[in-house]
Structure 1
Amino acid sequence: MAGEQKSKAKAEQAKGKAKETIGRAVGNERLTAEGRAEQSKGDARQAKEKTKDVFKH
């Protein structure tokens, strides 16, 4: 399960980065903001999983 969540976090971060980059390229502030939000969500998920790993060991 933890591996699945880590993969999900990485995917959210990558998708968010892509959206942000595309949004900036075409001048779409909404898309840029959505991308940043997805990256933040992925960062939070990754931090949560890292915390879990620390307490497992």
Structure 2
Amino acid sequence: MAGDQKAKGKKEQVKGKAKEAVGRAVGNERMEAEGRMEQSKGDARQAKEKAKDTFKH
């Protein structure tokens, strides 16, 4: 389960970076903002899973 969540967080980060880059390239501020938001969600998910791992061990 934790591995799934870590992978999901990483996927959100990568997808967000790509969306932000495309938004910047085409001049779409909304897409850029959505990309940053997805990256933030991925970062938060990764941090939560790392904290869980820390308390497990």
Please name the residue that 1:6 is paired with: 6
1:32 counterpart = 2:32? yes
Aligned to 1:48: 48
Q: TM-score, normalised by structure 2?
A: 0.99
Give TM-score, length-normalised by structure 1. 0.99
For 2:10 and 2:45, locate their aligned partners in 1 and report how far apart those are by CA, in whole Å.
Answer: 9
RMSD over aligned CA atoms reads 0.2
Aligned length: 57
**Distance in 1 between the 2:48 and 2:9 partners?**
10
> What is the identity percentage for the equivalent residue pairs of Structure 1 and Structure 2?
79
Gaps of 5+ in 1: none
